[in-house]
Amino acid sequence: MIACYVSGKGMYASETTWNFKTRVIAWLAQHRLGYDTRHAYYRPQFADMEEGAFARMICDPVEYYDKDWPAFRDANLARADEWQLATEFMLARDLGFQAEAQCAIVCFDEAGMGTGVNSMRFLAQNKPILGFYHRELETRQRNISNFLQLQITHPQLVTLRAYEDVEQIEQPLIQWLQDKHF
């Protein structure tokens, strides 16, 4: 099974990114080709939670649901404010998920700075990225040429696919995972 980091907008994501992430997580499990590293880490903590609700929950920032966050925050409030602590906590978790992952599967539909930073981390580690973007979504909040540049400058690591409906993602995702020979 291929360890994957399913990525996209985090804190201020909308249905667009949540739908992408939850569907990709489900397809990875259904086809038994891979798994999302965040999903694998948190599933034991929420073993009784219905899968769809769980997959949706882990799309949110980890400090919203990680059971270790309140103790970390309370133990460290004397040295930093809550924003700094949340950033430290999230970063430690996220770097662990990224280190375990062999590749990233990214939704660029609501791409922001966080998506860009995470993409660059994968490129710096020489790990492949499969990115998807919806051509018809409003583009005022994202610069499509920014992530298209990733494919131009790193063609051996970045594969981008445009789509019009989320159902068009499954087959390219499965094919890419099978062809990469992880």
> Which residue segments constitute the domains of the chain, with CATH numbers given?
2-179 (3.40.50.450)
Dump pLDDT digits (tens) for 113-171: 888 899 999 999 999 999 999 877 655 566 788 888 999 999 999 999 999 889 999 99
Q: What is the mean pLDDT of the segment spanning 6-20? A: 79
* Cα(17)–Cα(154) distance, integer angstroms: 24
Region of 32 please: left (phi>0), alpha (psi -120 to 50) or beta.
Answer: left
Residue 47 CB partners (closer than 8 Å, separation 6+): none
Q: Residue 29 has what pLDDT?
A: 92
Residue 22 CB partners (closer than 8 Å, separation 6+): 52, 55, 56, 59
Name the token pair of 39: 């999903």
Dump pLDDT digits (tens) for 66-77: 999 999 999 999
Does position 100 have pLDDT exceeding 90, yes or no? yes
- In whole angstroms, how large is the CA radius of gyration of the chain? 16
Who wins on pLDDT, 142 or 50?
50
CB 34, CB 177: distance < 8 Å: yes
* Cα(123)–Cα(157) distance, integer angstroms: 7
The letter for the amino acid at 152 is I
pTM: 0.91
CB 121, CB 91: distance < 8 Å: no
